[in-house]
Structure 1
Amino acid sequence: MALRKEDAAKKGSVARFRPLAHAAARSRGSAALPSVLTFAVIVASGGLLLMIEKGMLSSVETPSPRGNGRSLSYLQNARDQAAVDVEAQVTPRSPAFGIYQSKLESVVTGTVPPGATRGLSNDHNIQREIRNRTMKIMCKQKNMPQNIWSLSPLKRKTLLQHILVNEEHRFLYCYVPKVACSNWKRMLKVLSGALENVDAKGKMDHKADLVFLGNMKPDEIRYRLRHYFKFMFVREPMTRLLSAYRNKFGEIQEYQKKYGPEIIRRYRPGYTAAEAAAGADVTFAEFVRYLLDEDPDRMNEHWMPMYNLCQPCAVQYDFVGTYERLQEDAAYVLEKVGAPPHIRYPERQSWYKPVTKETLHYYLCSVPQKLVWDLLPKYIIDFSFFGYSLPNTTTEYCRH
């Protein structure tokens, strides 16, 4: 009996896990104080900006395989320093406080702050302004690329392979796998006339009837980067990673056969020949160990960092939408590019299994804490660039 329990614990993070239905009840009070939450975002982001302006993150690069030795203590110290900086510098007399106060007032009065995006809610505009400011400051650091031609050939190739072109509406879209990119590709096909409507049935072809910037000549690339509307969408990094794991290792046999055997042989002590041959039951902990040994610039696109895929310093995007506000951001983009009014962004498919906060909590807490903290430096630029908080995987938090 004890052996069965131990085996069940080992397999607890396999992709077939289904979150408990009652978990959603814990988040009912999350929308009670939107202004307080907005203020919290502002103060937290202020700490990050102060870190950036002081140069604390200027030397942070996506780590090579197995990271660079930075672990829980490094990230915790950086976060603690940010809290000290906020307490010391974001005071009623500081310029930073004035900026944040004016943005908070715009929420109360219902006005659109200067530089904000009309058509988006005010609290959303505040978060977007903070994200844009963060990106601008980080991109000014000396080690950041200023255009696509300053990228290495490998990085430039990856970027250009992920930018899709629509000539009629003059826009460029950098797609990030596991950030609703399939639906955006449907949208591009509808706008080009290759697909009748976004609800058309059938398997999605991710190459056919799409125009890639990488297939164009250098002069054509330069012109479009200079004159077309450019956008991308991002998602909370660990949620995106978990979505990729559950989808590719829980549902797609092609990925199970391609990556599963190698991962099992490398990271599962005492594996059987049958397990290695099938590759069908890779656990989340094994997947994380695999990622630690991977070079971010050569990863599969489904778990490559978003920064590496779309290079937001080399390409100055006009709009960075979020998966968390997908419908609102998508509607804005469609209006901005002049899409016909009858074309709408598709609703989420009924069969889709979203990654909830409870699901993410379960998976992150099911692996050794050190593994998670060793993994975070690989995605630290995604967290800092796009304004996402580092996940809480402390022992106390994981007990609940």
Structure 2
Amino acid sequence: AASPGPPSAAVTAGRRPPVTPPPLSSGLGGAAGRLLPLHSRHAARPLRCWKSESTGAMFSRPPLPGEVRRAAATGRSRSRPRGAGGGTVLLPSMLMFGVILASSGLLLMIEKGILAEVKPLPLHPAAGELSRRGGGDEGAPGDLDYQVLQDIRNRTIRAVCGQRAMPRSVWELPAGQRRTVLRHLLVSDKYRFLYCYVPKVACSNWKRILKVLDGALESVDVKLKMDHKSDLVFLGDMKPDEISYRLKNYYKFIFVRNPVERLLSAYRNKFGEIKEYQQRYGVEIVRRYRKNGGNSVGDDVTFSEFLQYLLDEDVERMNEHWMPIYNLCQPCAVRYDFIGSYERLNADASYVLQRVQSPSFIHFPERQSWYKPMTAETLRYYLCNTQRRLIKELLPKYILDFSLFGYPLPNITSEYCRQ
């Protein structure tokens, strides 16, 4: 900082020299405490920063004429610096209060995700823009709380995937894992997007939309049994250079769901309604985990037996309907542009359809008449009638689905089950 001395030639000539702020003392007294109030005529001037000799902190504010006069002249200033009400300058205690208040506000903004260190997920459209597709029934996806949730999810994925052992691309994955994710990435070359389908997260309706976009179906409302293989383009069927190009240049999205609800949905659907699964998996599960279960046809598998089977099964050998979402879609190896949720299905789906610029007549299909929605009472019933040991031991296999996508661990406390 400049020492007090006679006015410079620039001052006497009527020109303003560069401002050199006074040094900050360790006690914030003296010159450090005599900060002038900011007047409107100084608001547009560029900020100048200086460093505290005691704390190393950086401060910035517009240069004030009083500081130049204090630094340039000891007793011949033309006017005395005055406060907003004509009084004296701010006291050191007021400065400290302002610094603390500003710091608290900054921490709150960071905690809320308002000041993001990484680029947040793209903003959703306003609620009114969803009406043409029938979306938005769960609330406007542009809600601040939802944006904060998306930002937290985005930060978590970047933090976890930034670890040294995590894959950076699909080519760093072991062959089996790479084959799985490429087999679940569906391609639309016309609309330039990739969709990683997750069974039990509305993937049948998304496949229906892809078929309409490709011209294989006339409407998403056609009541036909879904063929999950025909008229669909899988990224895994392409050459390596074609795969790399699409992963780099296409819009990529997935939809996720609470892991426990997804497992329960798979259990109720596959072992309660689908004979193929009863015969292929149910018979073996009963034989393995039930005494004298050799006569079962596989349609009476209990939820506890199903969870025990998952606990003993190798994750990479699991059926896709209960394989963890992380293993299906590899969110570290594939940088998804958007992660929608089953809990906000219509609103998030409407956003994606607008983002990929699909025709306005295409909307997300209504749920089938036979669909049985998952209720809180249903979830509570199954959780509270299952051995806690099974649930606790199974959680590590699905822990990345909980943590990456922001889902709470299941509540299996005695208090919860007594309600």
Instruction: Confirm or deny a common fold (TM above 0.5).
Output: yes
1:311 corresponds to 2:330:
yes
Partner of 2:124: 118
Of 279, 298, 318, the match for 2:298:
279
Partner of 1:144: 166
Does structure 2 retain, via aligned residues, the 8 Å contact 1:249–1:255?
A: yes
Of 69, 83, 108, the match for 1:97:
108
TM-score normalised by length of structure 2: 0.69
Q: Which string of whole-angstrom CA distances, capped at 9 and with x for unpartnered residues, describes residues 341-381 of structure 1? A: 11101111222001112111110111111111111111000
1:236 corresponds to 2:263:
no
Runs of 4+ residues over 6 Å off in structure 1: none
Partner of 1:357: 376
Percent identical: 62
Which residue identity does 1:118 align to in structure 2?
H
Aligned-pair distance for 1:164? 0.3
1:1-400 matched pairs, under 5 angstroms: 93=104, 96-101=107-112, 103=114, 116-119=122-125, 120-122=141-143, 123-271=145-293, 273-275=294-296, 278-400=297-419
If you compute each CA radius of gyration, which structure gives the higher value, 1 or 2? 2
Structure-2 change in CA distance of 1:307 and 1:118 (3 Å):
same
Does structure 2 retain, via aligned residues, the 8 Å contact 1:199–1:346?
A: yes
Aligned-pair distance for 1:201? 1.5
Which residue identity does 1:332 align to in structure 2?
Y
Structure-2 change in CA distance of 1:116 and 1:399 (3 Å):
same
Does structure 2 retain, via aligned residues, the 8 Å contact 1:116–1:129?
A: no
Q: Which runs of 5+ in 2 are unaligned?
A: 1-102, 126-140
Aligned-pair distance for 1:117? 1.1
By percentage of residues, which structure has more helix?
1
Structure-2 change in CA distance of 1:245 and 1:181 (3 Å):
same
Query: What's the secondary structure of 1:355's corresponding residue?
Result: coil
Aligned-pair distance for 1:396? 2.3
When the two structures are aligned, how many residues end up with a matched partner? 299
Aligned-pair distance for 1:97? 2.8
Aligned-pair distance for 1:115? 5.6
Distance in 1 (CA, whole Å) between partners of 2:399 and 2:378 is 21
Structure-2 change in CA distance of 1:130 and 1:216 (3 Å):
same
Does structure 1 retain, via aligned residues, the 8 Å contact 2:307–2:390?
A: yes
Query: What's the secondary structure of 2:223's corresponding residue?
Result: coil
Structure-2 change in CA distance of 1:221 and 1:116 (3 Å):
closer
Structure-2 change in CA distance of 1:257 and 1:391 (3 Å):
same
Aligned-pair distance for 1:270? 3.0
Does structure 2 retain, via aligned residues, the 8 Å contact 1:284–1:367?
A: yes
Does structure 2 retain, via aligned residues, the 8 Å contact 1:116–1:125?
A: no
Aligned-pair distance for 1:103? 4.2
**After the TM superposition, which of the residue ranges 322-331 and 344-353 deviates more from structure 2?**
344-353
Structure-2 change in CA distance of 1:377 and 1:193 (3 Å):
same
Q: Which runs of 5+ in 1 are unaligned?
A: 1-91, 105-112
Does structure 1 retain, via aligned residues, the 8 Å contact 2:121–2:337?
A: no
